[in-house]
Amino acid sequence: MRRHRRPGFKASLPLVVTLAALLLGGCGLGKQSALSPAGPVAQAQLSMLWQSLAIMTVIFIVVLAVFVYSLIRFRARKTDTELPKQVHGSTALEIVWTIIPIIIIVALSISTVHYAFVLETPQTGKNAVQVQVIGHQFWWEFRYPGTGVVTANQVHIPVGKKVNFTLQSADVVHSFWVPRLGGKTDLIPGRTNTLWLEASKAGVYYGQCAQLCGAGHAYMKFTVLAQSPAAYTAWLHHMQTDTVSVTTPEEKAGLALFKQNCSTCHTIQGTPFHGNIGPNLTALATRPTIAAGTLPNTAQGLATWLKNPPAAKPGAKMPDLGLSQSQIQSLVAFLQTLK
């Protein structure tokens, strides 16, 4: 009888490959994937990942082949009358399976240790940019030393330049990670860590606190806006010279409410408000989200936030101010003027 040939493996191989690609790409299609690097640091880190994966794959195949061979070649037979020769305590084997892993670990550690030092060494040169990052429960503060510019939850960087980040924490341990650009490094209270990143293309890259830091950890996101050097310089200048202008009665009412309720905690460039407990709100309206990625930066999002911050975001330090609906509306109108 002719053996029935199943349409099986050969036909389904393209399907398996496609599915695997989609699965891997699934992360790639997302906003935070270390598998689609957008700068030299992320590229180097991905190369290391592939390198160790290749070594592990070879080990896996060799070990599996030896295992399967042994199962078949040395299986018990009905005719066996005694135990085969035992190899327990074989000096030769012990030496071999001690030395091989040592060689593998040394090979893996050479590039890992090398890059660990390269990435934490601040990059010098006139093109290097400095950004100070301070992690808070549960938001990100970004300071540009020597410029007076402070912002929150969205960090602007120039494309094609090395950006040195100094990482500090105001409270607990956080972790700075922008999967498509590289990272990640912890922000540890009482110490300053460093790392540098570079974006090869203009665009928005998504970051996230990568260390469980409390109730709002999952809502501790940020964006990296990589701009052309000219646009970046223009932004820095705008942030230094930004002024607040309110025109409508509602915006004016919002400004008065802000002074009364918000100014002890928040700073706005170009106003007498210099609170430094919460995020700096200069040019708030230009940010894509509020509360570190918790809500969209729309009238609706701002209103939801102002109504009851801890309800909108677990662990938020900003209290419920008990504002009325019309007060919230005025504040939203004012906040939307901060461009």
- What residues make contact with ligand CUA under the rule CB under 6 A? 135, 138, 174, 209, 211-213, 217, 220
Which strand (E) or helix (H) includes residue 168? strand 163-169
Q: Which is nearer to ligand CUA, 193 or 286 (CB)?
A: 193
How far apart, in whole angstroms, are the C-alpha atoms of residue 30 and residue 92? 50
Q: Are 254 and 338 in contact (CB under 8 A)?
A: no
User: Distance (Å, rounded) from C-alpha 324 to C-alpha 330?
Assistant: 10
Half-sphere exposure of 272 (CA within 13 A, CB side): 4
Q: How far is the CB of 212 from ligand CUA (least distance, A)?
A: 6
Shortest approach of ligand CUA to residue 171 CB, angstroms?
Answer: 9
Spatial strand order in the sheet of 182-187 = 154-158, 221-227, 203-209, 174-178, 182-187
Write down the least CB distance from residue 196 to ligand CUA, Å: 21
Q: Judged by CB, which is closer to ligand CUA: 222, or 232?
A: 222
- What minimum distance in Å lies between the beta carbon of 317 and ligand CUA? 13
Angstrom CA distances, 101 to 72, 329, 337, stand at 26, 65, 62
Residue closer to ligand CUA, measured from CB, 161 or 174: 174
Residue 183 pairs with which residues in a beta bridge?
A: 177
If DSSP states are collapsed to H, E and C, what string results for 296-314? ECCHHHHHHHHHCHHHHCC
Strands 221-227 and 289-290: unpaired
Q: Output the smallest distance, CB 153 to ligand CUA, in A.
A: 12
Question: From CA 169, how far away is CA 204, in angstroms rounded?
Answer: 24
In a 3-state reduction of DSSP, which class is residue 316?
Answer: coil
**To the nearest whole angstrom, how small is the minimum distance from the Cβ of residue 216 to ligand CUA?**
8
Minimum CB separation of residue 116 from ligand CUA in Å reads 22
Q: Find the shortest distance in angstroms from Cβ 207 to ligand CUA.
A: 11
Beta carbon of residue 252, minimum distance to ligand CUA (angstroms, whole number): 37
Instruction: Check: CB of residue 248 under 8 Å from CB of residue 333.
Output: yes
Structure token pair of residue 331? 């504040």
Contact 163, 125 (CB under 8 A): no
Residue 180 or 184 with smaller CB distance to ligand CUA? 184
Looking at beta carbons only, is 133 or 213 nearer to ligand CUA? 213
Token pair of 183 as six digits: 């990272």
Nearer to ligand CUA, 195 or 335 (CB): 195
Angstrom CA distances, 46 to 34, 41, 118, 188, stand at 7, 9, 15, 25
Q: Fill in the DSSP letter of residue 2.
A: P
- Which CB atom, from 211 or from 269, has the smaller least distance to ligand CUA? 211
> Considering beta carbons, is residue 24 or 212 the nearer one to ligand CUA?
212
Strand-pair category, 129-136 with 163-169:
parallel
Nearer to ligand CUA, 172 or 236 (CB): 172
